[in-house]
Amino acid sequence: MNEFKKHIIVTGGAGFIGSHVVRLFVNKYPDYQIINVDKLTYAGNLANLRDVEEKPNYTFVKADICDFETMLQLMRQYNVDGVIHLAAESHVDRSIKDPFTFAKTNVMGTLSLLQAAKQYWESLPEKYDGKRFYHISTDEVYGALELTHSQGITPPFSTKASSGSHHEAYGETFFVESTKYDPHSPYSASKASSDHFVRAYHDTYGMPTIVTNCSNNYGPYQFPEKLIPLFINNIRHRKPLPVYGKGENVRDWLFVEDHARAIDIIYHNGKVAETYNIGGFNEWKNIDIIKVIIKTVDRLLGNPEGYSDELITFVTDRAGHDLRYAIDSRKLQKELGWEPSLQFEEGIEKTVLWYLDNQEWMDNITSGEYEKYYESMYSNR
């Protein structure tokens, strides 16, 4: 254990974003021990990490972040000097049906992890020196922005992610780090609460914390209840594509590996007690992104153009559906030099190809329990 330079717990490493973070750190830093702590809920899948599971600097521990005693014991056992905290319940629709689980995991789980880190680090002679608690959050805590331009306007800034054919913004305001929190869904309310606890541990106890708020991620290994993998899979199986409301809501999309790269940079170079927004100025109306997905899947499957358009099915809107998210990430770009590496069109092509090439990964998830859940989501809409 002691041959490693750093010992970092990544929580939620078997989930979508966490698995990309674990992969990046395990491969890039052979002198760091990466301890993936994950409860393996429905969203956790060790198949996401097959390519790194044998690496000598990788360890998996199945545990619940709400279990304070176990978290404290892990801190001591692995001599932990860093925590990158991604474990959470993450799906808005589930939070509408079952808010308690979200409060438990996202709020109480984060608190239990903070308290375990505090107790362990304060017991050491060097205390918080060289330690870091990095909490991964979402832009959804800021609430919804106004959607003032339904046709889209040229955004004031651009990045590689937004440099393709579609380069539009749907309003003049963006989320910045000082935007007031205004969460609307039980998911975003629980994430907001956890963010406040993290900042409180810095302000009250001096814990070296960092919080980042990222826009919607897409890419390989995303659980297929989220828009992009769900729709790719449904197109492949010629199932309806349930578009909430009129499909007018706007989301700001970032390729997951670009988020993982940002996490790496911020973990190492971010300033303690700071917040960084992560996003690529890449806003899309749901209906437009859905058309891009349909077109890409049809082309890659050899279907004629327009073949799957008929699968689009407008359904009852999500309750409290936030109209528009759009991140201003200039602070991160200026202070730490991060930029998205991929144009959105490249990212979507890579993503669709990955899901089509990894049908077995998808089938393993979409059979059994998931199928029952998915049907229940739509039976009472």
Provide, rounded to whole angstroms, the least separation between the CB of residue 92 and ligand TYD: 4
E strand spans, 21-92 = 32-38, 58-62, 82-85
351 near ligand NAD, rule: CB under 6 A? no
Paired with 136 in beta bridges are 212
Note every long-range contact of 266-270, with CB atoms under 8 Å and residues 24 or more positions apart, other chains counting. Answer: 266/134, 266/210, 266/212, 266/332, 266/336, 266/338, 267/82, 267/84, 267/132, 267/134, 267/210, 269/336, 270/134, 270/210, 270/212, 270/336
- CA dist 60 and 45 (Å) reads 12
- CA dist 110 and 245 (Å) reads 33
Tell me which residues in 40-79 interact with ligand NAD (CB under 6 A).
Answer: 40-41, 43-44, 64-66
138 near ligand NAD, rule: CB under 6 A? yes
251 near ligand TYD, rule: CB under 6 A? yes
For the question of residue 310 being annotated catalytic, the response is no
For the question of residue 38 being annotated catalytic, the response is no
- CA dist 247 and 361 (Å) reads 28
90 near ligand NAD, rule: CB under 6 A? yes
What is the distance of C-alpha 355 from the center of its chain? 18
216 near ligand NAD, rule: CB under 6 A? yes
* Stretch of residues binding ligand TYD (CB under 6 A), selected from 105-113, 176-184, 200-208, 226-234: 226-234
244 near ligand TYD, rule: CB under 6 A? yes
The site map against ligand TYD for 172-211 (x = CB under 6 A) is: ----------------------------------------
86, 17 Cβ separation under 8 angstroms: yes
* Structure tokens belonging to residue 182: 């205004």
In sequence order, the 6+-apart residues with CB closer than 8 A to the CB of 354 are 219, 220
Residue from 286, 296, 329, 366 in contact with ligand TYD (CB under 6 A): 286
Provide, rounded to whole angstroms, the least separation between the CB of residue 306 and ligand NAD: 29
Number of amino acids touching ligand NAD (CB under 6 A): 30
In terms of Cα–Cα distance, which of 214, 220, 284 is closest to 248?
Answer: 284
For residues 41 and 158, which CB has a smaller minimum distance to ligand NAD in the complex? 41
Q: Residue 209 phi/psi, 5° resolution?
A: -110, 160
For the question of residue 140 being annotated catalytic, the response is yes
140, 225, 248, 258: the catalytic one is: 140
Partner whose binding site includes residue 343, from ligand NAD, ligand TYD, none (CB under 5 to 8 Å by kind) = none
- Beta strands 216-218 and 283-285 are unpaired
327 near ligand NAD, rule: CB under 6 A? no
Distance in angstroms between the alpha carbons of the first and the last residue of the chain: 51
In terms of Cα–Cα distance, which of 109, 42, 19 is closest to 377?
Answer: 42
Residue from 22, 35, 214, 266 in contact with ligand NAD (CB under 6 A): 214
* Structure tokens belonging to residue 329: 């990430």
78, 187, 267, 355: the catalytic one is: 187
For residues 109 and 242, which CB has a smaller minimum distance to ligand NAD in the complex? 109
The residues binding ligand TYD (CB under 6 A) are 92, 216, 226-227, 230, 242-244, 249, 251, 286, 318
Which positions lie near ligand NAD, rule CB under 6 A? 11-12, 14-18, 38-41, 43-44, 64-66, 86-90, 105, 109, 136, 138, 191, 214, 216-217, 223
Please list the active-site residues.
139-140, 187
